[in-house]
Amino acid sequence: MTVAATNAGFRALFAPGPFRRFFASRAISLIGDAVVPTALALTMTELGYSPGWLGGMLAAAILPKVVFLIFGGIAADRMAKQPLMVASSIACGSAQLITVAVLVSGASLWWALVCQGVYGVSIAAGHPATFGYLPHCVTPQHLGAANALVGGWTGAAALLGPAITAACFALGDAAWALAFDGVSFFLAAALLWGLPRGAAVMDGTDRGGMSALRDGWRAMQGLPWLLRMTVVDSSILLLVSAPFMILGPALVSQRMSANAWALLMLLFAAGELVGSLVSGRMTLPRPILAAALSLLAMGLPPLCLAAGAGLAALSVAQILAGASVGAYGVLVTTAVQRSVPQEHLSKVGALSSVGSFAFLPIGYVMAPLIAALTGPTPLLWAAAAWTVVSVTALASDRRLRGFRGPEGALTH
C-alpha cells in the first residue's frame, strides 16, 4: 500500500459517518482515563493517605475489570453494542464524579473505594462492546487505518493526561482531574447517542452464560497464534513490564533525577503514538510475525537499567518499547477483527484481554519482594532475558508464521 493510498484511507475515515463520532467519543474518553493514575496518586498523597490506600483505590478499579470483562464480552456479542457503550460511559462518569465528591468533602474513603469498584465493573461492561463496534463503523479495508488512529490517539492521550493533572494540581487540587474524567465520559456518551446500534450478528446457535463463553473460547481456539500470543503477553507483563515499572522509578531517581522517570513515561507514550500510526500505514505480508518480533523492544528498558545506562540510552529504549506496543496493538487487533466472526468478536477480545492482564497485579506485588532478596539488578537482567526467550517461542510457531495479511493466504 502506498503512502498516498493510506493517507486517502485516513481522510476517508473522517468523512461524515459513524466512525467520526465514534472516534471523537473514544478520544475524549481516553484523555479522561489517562489522568486517573496520576490524579489518584497526587490526590491521595496531598490528603495524607498511605500508599496502601492508593493501592486499594487502583486495585478496586482493576480487579472488577479483570473479573467481569469476559461477561462484558458475552453481553456485547448478544446485544446491540451502542447502548452498552452509552450506559457504560454514563456509569463510569457518575462513579468518577462521586469519587471526587467523596475526596473533596472528606467523607469516608470506603465510599470512594466502592465508586472505583463500580467504575471497574462499568469499564468491563463497555470495553468489549467498543472492541466489537469498530467493524460496524468502517469497511474491512479501512480497519487497519481505523485501529491505527485509535491506537495512535491512545498514545497521545497518555501524553495529555498527566499534563491535565499537573495543570489541575497547579490550580489548587488534583482531584479536579478526576472530575475531568467524569465529565469526559458524559461527553463520550453524548457523541455515541444516535449512532448505529451495532446489533448482534446472530448465527442461529447463539446461547447465553457459560455456553456463550465456551463458544467464544472455541472461536479463539480457531486462531492458535492468538492463544500463544495471549500467554506470552501475560508472561511479558508479569516478568518484564511489572519489574521495570515497580523498580524503575526509584533507580532512575537515584541515578539521574527525580524528574527523569516522568520524562521516560512521556517518551514511551510518544513512541506508542508513532508506532500505532506507522503500523497503520503498512500492509505487511505476515503482520502477526512482525507484531511478535516487535516485542523484542520491550526488553530494552530493563536491559538498559540493569546495565547502568544513562538517560539518553534509556530514552531511546523507551521510545522503541512504546513504538513496539503501539504497532503490536494495531497489527493484532486488526488481524483478530478480520479473522473472528462478528457474533464472537467481543467475546474473543475480552478473553484475550483477560488472559493478557490477569497476572499483572501479581507482578506488581512480587517484583519488590523478589528484589528484596536478589537486588533489583538481577531481576532486571532476568526481565530482559525473558523477553528474548518469549519472542523466540512465538516466532518458532509455524501457525503464527503462517498467518498472512488480507492480501495473502491464511494458513493454520
How confident is the model over 86-128, as pLDDT tens digits? 888 899 999 999 988 888 887 888 888 898 888 888 888 887 7
Considering the domain boundaries, does residue 390 fall inside one? yes
Tens-place pLDDT, residues 233-288: 888 888 898 888 777 777 887 788 756 776 787 788 788 888 887 876 677 778 88
Together in a domain, 192 and 268: no
Considering the domain boundaries, does residue 206 fall inside one? no
Query: Of 153, 178, 200, which residue is a domain's last?
Result: 200
Together in a domain, 221 and 303: yes
Q: Which DSSP string do the residues of 311-356 spell out, in sequence order? A: HHHHHHHHHHHHHHHHHHHHHHHHHHHHHS-GGGHHHHHHHHHHHH
Enter the C-alpha cell of residue 195. Answer: 449512532
Query: Of 167, 200, 233, which residue is a domain's last?
Result: 200
Q: How many separate domains does the chain show?
A: 2
- Residue 332: which domain range? 212-412
Together in a domain, 179 and 301: no
Considering the domain boundaries, does residue 142 fall inside one? yes
Residue 296's pLDDT is what?
A: 92
Query: Of 146, 174, 200, which residue is a domain's last?
Result: 200
Together in a domain, 193 and 216: no
Report d(CA 53, CA 59) in Å as an integer: 10
Report d(CA 187, CA 25) in Å as an integer: 7
Q: Which of 233, 230, 237 is nearest to 366 (CA)?
A: 237
Q: Which residue has the cell 503482520?
A: 287
Considering the domain boundaries, does residue 34 fall inside one? yes
What average pLDDT score do residues 202-210 get? Answer: 52
Residues whose CB is less than 8 angstroms from the CB of residue 222 and which lie 6 or more positions away in sequence, other chains included: 339, 340, 412
The DSSP letter of residue 106 is T
Enter the C-alpha cell of residue 129. Answer: 462492546
Together in a domain, 216 and 192: no
Together in a domain, 111 and 246: no
Enter the C-alpha cell of residue 86. Answer: 452509552
Considering the domain boundaries, does residue 205 fall inside one? no
Report d(CA 318, CA 314) in Å as an integer: 6
**Cα dihedral across residues 78, 80, 83, 85: positive or negative:** positive
Report d(CA 348, CA 217) in Å as an integer: 7
Report d(CA 245, CA 222) in Å as an integer: 34
Report d(CA 344, CA 275) in Å as an integer: 28
Together in a domain, 238 and 359: yes
Together in a domain, 95 and 4: yes
Tens-place pLDDT, residues 370-386: 888 888 899 999 999 99
Together in a domain, 96 and 24: yes
Considering the domain boundaries, does residue 376 fall inside one? yes
Together in a domain, 236 and 323: yes
Q: Give the chain's mean pLDDT.
A: 77
Considering the domain boundaries, does residue 242 fall inside one? yes
Together in a domain, 178 and 315: no
Tens-place pLDDT, residues 257-266: 756 776 787 7
Q: For residue 138, is it left (φ>0), alpha (ψ between -120 and 50) or beta?
A: beta
Q: Which of 40, 180, 172, 181 is nearest to 112 (CA)?
A: 40
CATH number for 91: 1.20.1250.20
Considering the domain boundaries, does residue 144 fall inside one? yes
Residue 12's pLDDT is what?
A: 66
Together in a domain, 247 and 269: yes
What average pLDDT score do residues 51-68 get? Answer: 70
